[in-house]
Amino acid sequence: MRGVKIQSATVQRERGIVVKEEEIIQRLKRVYAEISLDAIRSNMENMKKNIAASTNMIAVIKTDGYGHGAVPIARELETLDYVYGFAVATAEEACMLRDAGISRPVLTLGYTFPYSYEKMIQKDIRMAVFRYDTLVELSNASRRLAKGGIQKKAKVHIKVDTGMSRIGVRPDGEGLCFVEKAFETDGIEVEGIFTHFARADETDKTAAENQIAVFEQFLAKIKERTGREIPLKHCSNSAGILELPRANMDLVRAGITLYGLWPSSQVRKDIVRLTPALSLYSTIVYVKEIEAGTGVSYGSTFVAEEKMRIATIPIGYGDGYPRGLSGKGFVLVHGQRAPILGRVCMDQFMIDVTHIPEVREGDKVTLIGCDGKDQITMEELGEISGRFNYEFACDIGKRVPRVYRKDGEILCTEE
């Protein structure tokens, strides 16, 4: 996660600093990702309309918000009352949100290592738990804090494995013992319990339905055995939010759909309206004509068969633009598709602009997003390059500055 300085252009103007959008863009000519916070908000609202009124939402913003930027997104979504809080993967990601002033609940979804327990408790960060030693260590951490005058319990969400075989206690007698132990351990507050779907993004929902049934039975057993009800029960991910209303419990966890991307090609796309939040832009830095027989890029995997006009774009796999798009991908220039010629290099690649005679050096190039009537999506590029769309988003590099747009205005730039 990068340090993000948020300052709207309007605020800057009020302070007498005139920052025009154009000036910001000038500094970002090589490449920038523009993230629409309006799209993120509307994706969230459209998902909320598709779930039960009593179900609140967790925005999953691990891996720096699937590469989109966790902090600006958390700030945007914190204003929505049905957003319970945020989920991340690691203690560091969780602390970064707290350090940025995010006050809603934050949950770490994976295993959290003991070195961070005191910090997690102090910062009220919820943790997924499923190992006995975690309960012991958390209890010890809470006791150590109490000695220092900080009376706080560790808030935990018990993770249950209902079919993913990744992390989580098994929903059997052993799992019940774990839940009882968590209830009884000093310094621990069991706030939630959750499970995760392995196959909710498939057309056939049988496996996911089975997981829901197993989870519900386990919840019933907990109640029967202990007489207690855990306040926050959750199991749905993006695919579940779209198509599994039975999985709406107290909370649902929205990840990929938050960013306007689809969990898979098999989910129904007519239920919730989603808008891709991220666009990726660059600039043409060189235009030239090459003669028939000229090779383009490393290995000359493309050789011109006739005279053609080609353009160079100054981004490459060093920015997370997949090398797998070599000779296969395309970009938009002047609203038209221009195919990639030869291999994508670390920092540059070439495109064919023979059919777009108006192309000049300095022209804007859309790598992901809309230009005119055409649109390039991460799903489309993912398919061509043999890359999962989740991975595509996460891999957009550190070298790519992110710019946030809200109500049509550029919101923040990174220093």
Ligand X SMILES: *Cc1c(COP(=O)(O)O)cnc(C)c1O
In the complex with ligand X, the residue whose CB is nearer, 257 or 413, is: 257
In the complex with ligand X, the residue whose CB is nearer, 93 or 352, is: 93
CA distance 348 to 342: 11
CA distance 367 to 338: 10
Stretch that binds ligand X, among 39-47, 251-259, 287-295, 327-335 (CB under 6 A): 251-259
CA distance 297 to 44: 42
- Nearest-approach distance from CB 204 to ligand X, in angstroms: 17
Interhelix angle 37-49/70-77, nearest 10 degrees: 50
> 175, 255, 260, 316: which one contacts ligand X (CB under 6 A)?
255
256 binds ligand X (CB under 6 A): yes
In the complex with ligand X, the residue whose CB is nearer, 111 or 132, is: 111
Provide the CB-side half-sphere exposure for 192 (13 A, CA). Answer: 29
CA distance 87 to 321: 27
> 171, 263, 322, 382: which one contacts ligand X (CB under 6 A)?
263
Residues 6+ apart with CB under 8 A from 38: 405, 406, 407
196 binds ligand X (CB under 6 A): yes
The catalytic residues are 62, 298
212 binds ligand X (CB under 6 A): no
Between residue 53 and residue 112, which ones bind ligand X under the rule CB under 6 A? 60, 62, 109
171 binds ligand X (CB under 6 A): no
> 238, 297, 366, 413: which one contacts ligand X (CB under 6 A)?
238
**Residue where the block lists tokens 């798009």:** 325
> 55, 112, 142, 237: which one contacts ligand X (CB under 6 A)?
237
In the complex with ligand X, the residue whose CB is nearer, 389 or 413, is: 389
Quick count: other Cβ atoms within 10 Å of Cβ 370? 14
- Residues 261/380, Cβ–Cβ less than 8 Å: no
- Residues 330/351, Cβ–Cβ less than 8 Å: yes
**Residue where the block lists tokens 């990639």:** 340
> Total residues at the site for ligand X (CB under 6 A)?
11
In the complex with ligand X, the residue whose CB is nearer, 94 or 412, is: 94
Which residues sit at the interface with ligand X, rule CB under 6 A? Answer: 60, 62, 109, 196, 237-238, 253-256, 263
